[in-house]
Amino acid sequence: MSGTYGADGRSNVVLIGMPGAGKSTVGVLLAKALALGFVDTDLLIQSAEGRTLQDIVDSEGHFALRRIEERELRRLNVTHQVIATGGSAVYSPAAMDALRARGIVTYLRASLDTLNARITNQGTRGIAKGPEQSFADVYSERTPLYERYAEVIVDCDGLDAEATMEAIRAALPGD
C-alpha cells in the first residue's frame, strides 16, 4: 500500500453516508486492510461532550449536534487514518472542506430499503434530524449532499462489510 491517495498526497480515507451504510463497520476492516488507523467521529463527539449523540439531540436538538459535529470535524488533524463520519457531516461545507483537504471522501451509497433493513434503532441512534422528519425525509435531503462531496462512490446494496471494504479498496486512487 502506498498510504497516499491522490496526487496531492492526502493520506486519509474519509467515509460518508447515511446511518446504516456501514461506515464504522467497514471503516475498521478498511483500516486493517490498508494498515491505517481508524477514527469514528461519532465517538469523538461523544467523548468531547461526555454524552451520547441521542442525549445531545434530546436535550439541545439536532442543530446543536450538527454544530458540535462541525467543530470536531474541523479540529480533526490526523494522517494515515480511515475516518468514519457521522451521517450529518455533509451539512457543513466547512467540515467537508477540512476533511477533503486531508483525505479522499468516499460515499457508501445504500438504498433506503437497505438502510431501513439494517437500522432497527432509528429512534435512539442519535440521528441529526428534526422531530418532524422521517428517516426517508433525511435520506432524500442528504443524498444530493453525499453525491456533491464524494470523490469515490461505492454502492453497498447487496454487499456485506467485507465486500464493501474490497469495493472501496478497488475504487481508491493510487491503491
Strand ranges across the sheet with 12-16 = 37-40, 81-84, 12-16, 103-109, 152-155
* Predicted TM-score of the model (pTM): 0.91
CATH topology of domain 12-171: Rossmann fold (3.40.50)
Instruction: Answer whether 104's CB lies under 8 Å from 152's CB.
Output: yes
Q: Which residues pair with 37 in a beta bridge?
A: 81
CB distance 118 to 160 below 8 Å:
no
Cell numbers for 20:
446504516
pLDDT 10s digit of each residue in the chain, 175 long? 446 665 566 889 999 999 989 999 999 999 999 999 999 999 999 999 999 988 998 899 888 998 999 999 999 999 999 999 988 899 999 999 999 999 999 999 999 999 988 887 655 455 767 778 888 999 999 999 999 999 999 999 999 999 999 999 999 987 5
The domain spans of the chain are 12-171
